[in-house]
Structure 1
């Protein structure tokens, strides 16, 4: 999604491939996959980010997602 990242491509690709494999294992259609991924993002924000930063980070994530599909 991001063009510049502090994370190594190899690590990102490995995790992405694992997540894709799980969705394929469950034969999740696109809409279910998006619901699950959205719930994961929400869970990460609410469990790992301070309440005062959650909306700003959600907005940054949303903007990055929108830019990635342009």
Structure 2
């Protein structure tokens, strides 16, 4: 059983939402977020992980699976 199936849709959605918020804070030009902004390596790593996680979730939770 894959990890995505064990997590479930609810926690998968919560996890991807948190990663999306972290990514938006890191790549925003708003000066308010300067104290909590990460360096480029970690923000790029989180963005790449988020894209891979969203693609895996799209394949796993697709309604058109055979």
Q: TM-score range by the shorter chain?
A: 0.3 to 0.5
Q: TM-score when scaled to structure 2?
A: 0.38
Which has the greater radius of gyration? 2
Q: TM-score when scaled to structure 1?
A: 0.36
Between the two structures, name the one with larger relative contact order (CA 8 Å, sep ≥ 6): 1
